[in-house]
Chains A and B, each alone.
Chain A
Amino acid sequence: MDHPSFVSHAVLLSLVLFGLGTLGVFLRRNVITVLMCVELMLNGVNLAFVAFSRQAGSLDGQVLVFFVMVVAAAEAAVGLAIVIALHRHRDTLDLDAFNLMKG
């Protein structure tokens, strides 16, 4: 994997994954699926970090990926706790049902 073109292809893959994640956030109605799409977007970002870190020959990008993973774990824990609380109050996971604060 020492050819420079792999790095640009990895960046391209990360863009595609980020775009798919964005699309999923808007297309899906289930709260948990939307959270999973956010994880997909975070993974696209992680791949870009790793690819650029490989290109620059610096480890700082990898350390950032480490921190992104930590934050993703915290986000998943709190997000899923909120989902459980929502499900207890509304008995559904449909995003369209949570319109208490609609403008």
Chain B
Amino acid sequence: MDAILFYVCAAVAVGSALVVIGQRNPMYSAFALIVTLCSMSVIFALLGSPFIAVLQVIVYAGAIMVLFLFVLMLLSVRSEEDAPRSGGRTLRGIALALVTLLVLQTGAVLLRRSAAPLPEFDASTRRMAEVLFSPHFLYVFEATSILILAALVGAVVLAKKEL
């Protein structure tokens, strides 16, 4: 049952990712990306990470994608024109994507494929909080709050009428 759900969600994620990069209309791309993010959230849950799965829906599919849709509607974006990009650049893009994929793939293959059963794993919200607020990660966590503040101020300054 879990396996079927995993492969269905993986197929949906890849399919809607293809729609994201294949669509000329950014609005459809955004909606396809929301589908990708939600099916990835199911995969996170299947991999035993309920906290990350919920975070994925709330932060990614909720907050970030709403921000994207908000800007898309604010700017009344049109579809891309039919004129294709210069052929050289498209070819270079495909080549670079393939090379990236190949390099990452070799790395993944080089990793030892252990058939050993997976270890016991408890990623409940309680355990996550214990790790996140342990002295090991506490200062990093505080640093992210400064990052968020900087991003907030930066976004307001950048989007203001007069710079």
Contact = CB atoms under 8 A, between A and B. Distances in A.
Given A22-B100, A30-B26, A77 B17 contact: no
Contacts, number: 236
Interface in A1-57: 1-4, 6-13, 15-30, 32-33, 35-37, 39-40, 43, 46-47, 50-51, 53-57
B115 interface: yes
Nearest to A60: B131
A54 B122 CA distance: 9
B60 A43 contact: yes
B68 A47 contact: no
Contacts of A19: 97-98, 100-101, 104
Given A18-B104, A54-B118, A81-B154, A33 B47 contact: no
Interface of A: 1-4, 6-13, 15-30, 32-33, 35-37, 39-40, 43, 46-47, 50-51, 53-57, 59-60, 62-63, 65-67, 69-78, 80-85, 87-88, 93-94, 96
